[in-house]
Amino acid sequence: MAGETVITVVGNLTADPELRYTQNGRAVANMTIASTPRTFDRQANEWKDGEALFLRASVWQEFAEHVAGSLHKGSRVIAQGRLTQRSYQDREGNNRVSIELEIDAIGPDLRYATAQVTRAAKGQGGQGAPRQAQQAVTDEPWSTPGSSTEDAWSTPGSFGDDTPF
């Protein structure tokens, strides 16, 4: 949508994503991402931390279940999404405004870690989904999930002189 503020945040989760369900059964996962800028002080010859940014973020539906089942407190993540502003009244009746991130994409930062990615079966959430319902992502992006890794070129002469298509 035009006019939306899209940002990318790199930081650490301050707690496990909190997975909840609305009255209509829609899943939502809420989390806080802490991002602290670091600069190198040449005079002191050391790194210095700047002011930390704590940004509330949320994801919805099946995406929320995937996030809750995959990311945990302390996970370093890269999140991209849209900033939204919400106005509300606190318990004392004061008007408040909060800025939150509606996440479009999120994943682990692999600079200092590794991750094993599995593809969730259609209609299966990430948390509590049976292990056999998840399909491992292969190194071959052209393969169809559940198909044989053999192709027309792997066995010489198996298709005669004609191409298999």
Q: What is the pLDDT of residue 117?
A: 83
Percent of the chain with pLDDT over 70: 73
For residue 73, pLDDT over 90 is answered with yes
The answer to whether residues 14 and 30 touch, using CB atoms and an 8 Å cutoff, is no
9, 12, 14, 19: CA torsion to nearest 10: 70
In terms of DSSP bridges, do strands 27-35 and 18-21 run parallel, antiparallel, or are they unpaired? antiparallel
Phi-psi bin for 164: left (phi > 0), alpha (psi -120 to 50), beta?
alpha
Comparison of pLDDT for 78 and 154, the residue scoring more: 78
Q: What is the pLDDT of residue 139?
A: 40
For residue 30, pLDDT over 50 is answered with yes
Q: What is the pLDDT of residue 3?
A: 78
For residue 134, pLDDT over 80 is answered with no
129, two tokens: 């989904």
Q: What is the pLDDT of residue 99?
A: 92
For residue 31, pLDDT over 70 is answered with yes
Residue 8, number of CB atoms within 10 A of its CB:
10
What is the C-alpha radius of gyration for the chain, rounded to an integer number of angstroms?
Answer: 22
Q: What is the pLDDT of residue 116?
A: 84
Tell me the domains of the chain and their CATH numbers: 6-113 (2.40.50.140)
User: If you search the block for the tokens 């989904």, which residue do you land on?
Assistant: 129
Mean pLDDT in residue range 57-71: 94
Mean pLDDT in residue range 94-111: 94
Comparison of pLDDT for 143 and 54, the residue scoring more: 54
The answer to whether residues 29 and 16 touch, using CB atoms and an 8 Å cutoff, is no
Q: What is the pLDDT of residue 118?
A: 84
Mean pLDDT in residue range 119-142: 47
Calpha distance 27→161 (Å, rounded): 54
pLDDT band for position 1 (cuts 50, 70, 90) = low
DSSP per-residue string spanning the chain: -TT--EEEEEEEESS--EEEE-TTS-EEEEEEEEE--EEEETTTTEEEE---EEEEEEEEHHHHHHHHHH--TT-EEEEEEEEEEEEEE-TTS-EEEEEEEEEEEEEE-TTS-----EEEPTT--SSS--GGGEEEPPS-TTSPTT--S--TTTSTTTTTTS---
Mean pLDDT in residue range 121-141: 44
Q: What is the pLDDT of residue 76?
A: 95
